[in-house]
Amino acid sequence: MTLEVGNIVEGTVVNITNFGAFIDLSGKTGLVHISEVADTYVKDIKEFIKEGDKVQVKVLGIDDNGKISLSIKQGVQIVPKKTTRPAEVEWSTPEKKKPASNNFEDIMSKFMKESEEVMSDYKKKQEVRTKSRRG
């Protein structure tokens, strides 16, 4: 395959530096910047690739001087997973009836009772604070 921008080609890692890796592409050498090695943060490039590794790279650009910019993370060809049929679900089973105590009036009554208790406690605490400041 020819070296054109957008093509995915295979190459061999020939040198690793702290800023990237040099890849041999059948006689021409391109650079994969450290930011193009993986989708995650790469602190040490040697944790991801080693010299002599065969890698698929995408050609990102070729400048006027012949420098070739490459990407390993964009060169990874994603093979779609086989789709599986979803599990059969029985939708026609009747729902259990909720207890009668869950109707709106009962829920509202319970809320009002709890709310009044909270407000009563709050008022008592406010009275204690007010008395302690005066005395």
Helix (H) or strand (E) holding 120: helix 104-134
Ramachandran quadrant class, 93 (left: phi over 0; alpha: psi -120 to 50; beta: rest): beta
The region, left, alpha or beta by phi > 0 then psi within -120 to 50, assigned to residue 101 is: alpha
- What are the backbone angles phi and psi of residue 113, rounded to the nearest 5°? -65, -50
In which band, very low, low, confident or very high, does the pLDDT at 128 lie, cut at 50, 70 and 90?
confident
Position 80 scores a pLDDT of 53
Sign of CA dihedral 36, 39, 40, 45: negative
Residue 60 phi/psi, 5-degree rounding, is: -85, -35
pLDDT in the model for residue 100: 55
The domain ranges of the chain are 8-71, 100-134
Q: How many residues does the chain have?
A: 135
Q: Give the model's confidence band at 52: pLDDT under 50 very low, under 70 low, under 90 confident, else very high.
A: very high
Tens of pLDDT along 62-115? 888 889 999 998 887 555 555 566 667 676 656 665 555 578 888 888 999 999
CATH of 8-71, one of 3.30.420.40, 2.40.50.140, 3.40.190.10, 3.30.365.10: 2.40.50.140
pLDDT band at 17 (very low <50, low <70, confident <90, very high): very high
- Res 1 pLDDT > 60: no
Q: At 35, is the secondary structure helix, strand, or coil?
A: helix
